[in-house]
Amino acid sequence: MKKIIVLISGSGSNLEAIAKACQNGSIAGSIELVISNQPNVKGLERAQKFHLMSNVINHKEFDSRESFDKALLEQILPVEPDLIVLAGFMRILGKDFTQAFEGKLINIHPSLLPEYPGLNTHQQAINNGDLMHGISIHYVNSNLDDGPIIAQGALKIDPNQSEAKLINRIHKIEHAMYPKVIEDISKGYISLKNGAVVYAKESHFSSNHMEFFNV
């Protein structure tokens, strides 16, 4: 059983999807710890609902990125995690941190990377009149929303739809794909070798995986 740590900052709907997949046994692992950099967020309530151990490390209590990362490390290292999952975690992690967990640190980002790294991805896609939008799941490196892509999911933008509706549709893709990627990593079907993603034949995914969702 793989030991998983999930880092959140907000609603935690991806955390919930992952917790369910651990509970029903599709992920060969368990969430040992949830860490939020924001107090009083819904994600912490969701952690409680699934009886997960959770902690808050409030970034506002630290005067530098390094000291925040150090506090994170102090919580993470004793757990000896096999995988650290960023699920709506809105802090940039320093190079020392990302290098320490290379190949064990994954992120989900709501855009078809390399389009729209950073914030406000949905509104940017709408404003630019894009036909497609989507999500990317990737190994984390020291650059923001960069790193080898594991899988992407896409949908067709309806130009008459609100941003809120688009976000809702994007979430459906995230909740379908993120647990599946974590399942494959937990079973050793996806890994990072020499900076490239390697897929076993048993994996749900393969290189350049782009799945279209009619959500």
| Residues classed as catalytic | 109
Q: According to the binding rule CB under 6 A, does residue 203 interact with ligand GRF?
A: no
Q: How many residues make up the chain in this entry?
A: 215
> Cis link prior to 159 (omega < 30° from 0)?
no
Q: For ligand GRF, how many residues bind (rule: CB under 6 A)?
A: 13
Least distance in angstroms from the C-beta of 90 to ligand GRF: 7
Q: Residue 210, Cβ neighbours under 10 Å: how many?
A: 13
Site for ligand GRF in 132-151 (CB under 6 A): none
Site string for ligand GRF, 10-29 (x = CB under 6 A): xxxxx---------------
Helix (H) or strand (E) holding 46: helix 42-49
State the residue for tokens 């630290």: 62
Q: Give the footprint of ligand GRF on residues 91-120 (CB under 6 A).
A: 108-110
**What are the structure tokens assigned to 137, written together?**
């799941």
Draw the binding track, 32-71, toward ligand GRF (x: CB under 6 A; -: no contact): -----------x----------------------------
Kindly give the residue spans of alpha helices, DSSP state H, lying in 77-190.
95-100, 121-127, 163-186
Q: Among the candidate windows 5-13, 60-68, 151-159, 185-193, which touches ligand GRF by CB under 6 A? A: 5-13
Closest Cα to residue 212, out of 76, 125, 112, 98? 112
Nearest to 132 by CA among 156, 166, 163: 156
Tell me whether residue 13 is annotated as binding.
yes
Min separation Cβ 87 and ligand GRF, Å? 5
Annotated binding site, which residues?
12-14, 65, 90-93, 107
Write out the residues near ligand GRF by the rule CB under 6 A.
8, 10-14, 43, 87-88, 108-110, 174
